[in-house]
Structures are given as C-alpha cells and as structure tokens.
Copies of this chain bind each other. A is one copy, B any other.
Amino acid sequence: MPRSPAASRGRATRNDVAKLAGVSPAVVSYVVNGTKKVGAATEERVRDAVAKLGYRANPSARALRLGSTEMLGMVMPTAMNPYFAQLAHEVEVAAAKRGYMVLTFTSDSSVVAERDQLEQLAGRLVDGVFLCSTVSEPDLRSLDLAGIPIVLLNNSVTLPTRDSVGVDLLHGAHLAVEHLAEHGYTDIGMVAGVGDVGGDQQDARETGWLESLERLGLTPGAIVRGTFTPDGGYEAMRRLIRSRSVPRALFVGSDQMARGVLRAAHEAGLRVPEDVAVVSFDGSLDAAYSWPTLTSVAQPLSEMAEAAVDALVGPPHERLHLVVDAHLVLGRSCGC
C-alpha cells in the first residue's frame, strides 16, 4: 500500500496541515478530534491535507482533555480457550455498562509476554487492568509506577495487597466428586490439568478431588495429567486407556480437556457415561455442545466480571478478595 502516511509520520505538524488547507490550526483540531462541526467543504480540505502530509494527531491530547481514558486493559493467557474468551466477553459487557471499553492482550502463557504487556498497558492510557496471570506472583511494578489499579481475575491465588476475584476451585472440585459419588461410583479417577498458576504447585482442583475422596472414605482412582487443552485431555486419556486402568468415573480439570477425553473414549469404543462417567469444570459452551453433553462445574463468569469491573471503576472500597461459588450444570456425561 502507499506508505507515505507511515513514512512521514510525526513530521507534519498541525500548522503544516492548517497552512495547506488554508484554515486556522484550531479548525484542524476540530476536524481531527471531532470536537466541533465545520462546513463540509472545509472538512474535506482538512482531510485532504491530513492525508497528503501524513499528519498524525497527538494521541494523548484527547485523553488529557477528558481526564479519564474510559479504557480498561486486560491480559489473559489465551483466547483460544473458550473459557477465557467468555470471561473476557463478560468483562467487556460489564465494562460497557459503565461506559468503558476493554483492550485485550493475550500472553500465550508466557511470563515475559505478560510482563511486557502490562508495561505497555501502563504506558497506554488505561484506567485499570484485569490480569488473568499465568503465575502466582505476577510482576506488577510497571502498573504500580503508573498508578494504575489492578484486579487479579480468575486467580485462586490471593495477594494480600491486591484486589482479586476468583472462583472457589476446591469447593468446585468437591461438588464434582460428590456428584459422582452420589451416582454410586466408588472408583473415581482424575484427568488433571497442569501448567496453570503456580508452576510446580498441585492444581487446586486436584487437591479438592483428593480431599473429597478422603472425606467420603474412597480410595483415589487412577490420575493422569495434561495441559488445559483438548490435546492435553486427549493424550492423557489415551495414556489411561493404554494402561487399562480407566476408572468407572472421571473428574476432568476443564471442559477443554474433557473434549479430548471424550474423543479418546469414542475412538477406543468406550461409552460415556455407560463405561466411564465424566464430570468436568468450567461450564462453558463446550459443555453444552459436546457429545454427550457434559456435566460440569460452572463458574459464574458474569458475576465475576461485574465484581472485577466494579473494583476497578466503581466507588472507593476496601481491599477486595472475592471468592465466588461454582455450581453444577447437569449434562448427560455423568449418567444423570
């Protein structure tokens, strides 16, 4: 494409545009910022001059004028996991209600990318940042230096000095295991996710699974682990099938993983729930559109998003450490 605008970027000034268009510099600002209506012919002349000179308005002028940027930032690991895509959508909806837009970065689960993106947001005129961090102790120095408030979202890790909103993973796991036990299953295994918050730490869903089994007096069934993706669930389930130790019931760490578990089961001729019952986690669209439909521990994303947005742009408040309850959404995969 003709790259003159980019090539000459920053060279032309408002005065240059005014001169070429034969108007005052103030009129250039009216047109460029849309702050005041001018005649159609005048507007056309200014637009032509802007295009010809590759003039670029000073982007901070408008924000400085408004005081607030009416803009929030969000950093999350990936939008390819529908759970995060839905969470981001709910945040956008909640923010829009309050007159804010949300700019999103995805870190691809890289700690370095996450830090760089927070730094970019710190320098980019946002009023606050939602962070779905990939680590338990994110580097927030750039935001602190810029005086930009932060909410840790979807993080079971709570930092005493930070607002946070997350779901009770332990309690959610208890719901899943107890439901499987109510069906009469005693051999309850797990396809657990790794690579989440905390690195080497055991995922809280796995901890909750163990806790529930102990409380119920049941011996833990076989456990396999994988990434929180369909591929991760697929590979883990294939290992379980190859080892000929598929438990009668499985708690699976996420709906995404469960998609892989279902595929591996289908391919091996295992019927769900007749041969192996499944309860997964997240209650996302994936649960409703899997076959069989998944019984899943649903996170109240809308409630979480509303609370997170309020924490950033609502009235002053005490430090927020909100842990919301998950609830079970019934599908066919558990045998109900």
* A positions within 8 Å CB-CB of B: 1-3, 5-7, 9-10, 31-32, 47, 50-51, 54-60, 62-64, 67, 71, 78-80, 82, 85-86, 88-89, 92, 96, 101-106, 108, 113, 116-117, 120, 122-125, 127-128, 141, 144-149, 162-163, 230, 234, 259-260, 262-263, 266, 285, 288-291, 293, 311, 316-320
Q: Does the CB pair B123–A63 fall under 8 Å?
A: yes
Known pairs A106-B89, A320-B1; A120 contacts B101 (CB<8 A): yes
Q: Does the CB pair A146–B71 fall under 8 Å?
A: no
Known: A2-B319, A47-B141. 15 other contacts (CB 8 A): A3-B149, A10-B64, A50-B147, A55-B147, A59-B124, A59-B146, A80-B285, A89-B108, A103-B104, A104-B104, A230-B285, A230-B288, A263-B289, A290-B291, A291-B291
**In whole Å, how far is A321's beta carbon from the nearest beta carbon of chain B?**
10
Q: Does the CB pair B71–A120 fall under 8 Å?
A: yes
Q: Does the CB pair B316–A59 fall under 8 Å?
A: no
Q: Does the CB pair B71–A80 fall under 8 Å?
A: no
A185 to B242, CA, bound (A): 38
Inter-chain contacts of A320 with B (CB < 8 A)? 1
A102 to B, closest residue via Cβ: B105
Q: Does the CB pair B291–A266 fall under 8 Å?
A: yes
Q: Does the CB pair A101–B92 fall under 8 Å?
A: no
**In whole Å, how far is A294's beta carbon from the nearest beta carbon of chain B?**
12
Q: Which of A50, A55, A85: most chain B CB closer than 10 A?
A: A85
A317 to B3, CA, bound (A): 8
